[in-house]
Amino acid sequence: MNYRHSFHAGNSADVVKHSLLIALVQALQLKPGPLTLIDTHAGGGLYDLGGEQARRTGEAAHGVMRAFADADPLLDDYRAAVRAVNRLEEPHLYPGSPRILAQLLRPQDVLILNEKHPEDAYALRGAMRGTPAAVHERDAYELWLAMLPTRTPRGVVVVDPPYERTDERARISATLAAAHRKWAHGVTVIWFPLKERAAHQRWKDKLQRLGIPKFLGIEHWLYDAEQTGIYNGAGLFIVNPPYAFTQALPPMLHALRATLAPEGHRGEITTEWLNV
C-alpha cells in the first residue's frame, strides 16, 4: 500500500494521528524538563488542500473538514494547530507532523526532522524556514537508531512511513527492537494504515513477541465489515505513553470517532496493550 503524505493530507487518519500526537506531547510537557522530538519520515511539512494531489483523493472532506464542522472542545487543540498555518477560518493548508511539532516546542525543546525523498526534503526545508528544526535527508531507520539515546533525558520518536516497501513493517519491527535496547525509557509513536484485519493481526503478534513493556496499540477502523482490498483506517503504536495521556485517551477517542465515522457505519476506535 502506497501512502504518500501529499495525496492524503488532512484525511481521517491525519485527524486521529495529529490529535493524539498533540495530546501526547502536551502530556509530556507537564514536566519542565526538555524534550527531543524526532520525526523520521517527515514528508513535505505543509500541504495545499486545493492542490492537484489532495484534490485527486478528496480525503480532507472526510477528515479535517469534519473536525472543523464539529464543536467538540476536545478537538480544540487540533483545530488550533491547523488554524495556525491558515489565514482564513476554513483550512486551505494542512500542517504535517513537522509543523505541528514545531508549534508545540518550548524554548528548551529540540526538533529533529528527516525526509529521504529529495523533492519532499526540499519542500520540508522551505516549510520549516523560520523554525529551530534541524532537517536531515537520510535513511529513516538509520537516523532513528543514530539519534538514540537522545541528548535530552526525555524524547519522542515519530515513525510515519508511506509503506511503499513490502518490507516496511519488518524494518520497523527490527529497528524498534534495536531502539528499545538503546533507549528503553523513550517514547516511540508508529503510525500505520489499516487494510485487512488478519494481516494487521499477524504484525501485532510479531511486535508483541518483542517483549516491550508499556506498548499501546490504537486502531481506528472506519467500516463495520471487512472492506477487501481497500483502505479501512489507520492507527498508532505508542511505546511508553505517559500516564496523563492514557488517562485522557477514552473521551478523546470517543470524540474522534463521533466526528469521523463514515455515514452508515459505526466503525470503532480500539485500544490494546500489546505487552499483556
Question: 97-104 and 118-127 helices cross at what angle (nearest 10)?
Answer: 30
| 160 tagged catalytic | yes
Place of cell 527492537: 177
8 A C-beta contact, residue 118 and residue 96 = no
Element (H, E) at 231: none
**How many distinct helices (H) and strands (E) make up the chain?**
11, 10
Please tell me which residue in 109, 160, 167, 224 is annotated as part of the active site: 160
Among 19, 25, 18, which residue's Cα sits nearest to residue 109?
Answer: 25
DSSP string, 23-42: HHHHHHTTS-S-EEEEESS-
Q: Which own/partner contact pairs does 69-73 have at CB distance under 8 Å and 24+ positions apart?
A: 70/255, 70/258, 70/259, 72/255, 72/258, 72/259
**In degrees rounded to 5, what are phi and psi of residue 240?**
60, 50
Place of cell 500542517: 95
CA distance to 6, 80, 83, 116, 260, per residue, from 64 (Å): 14, 12, 11, 27, 9
User: Which residues are designated catalytic?
Assistant: 160
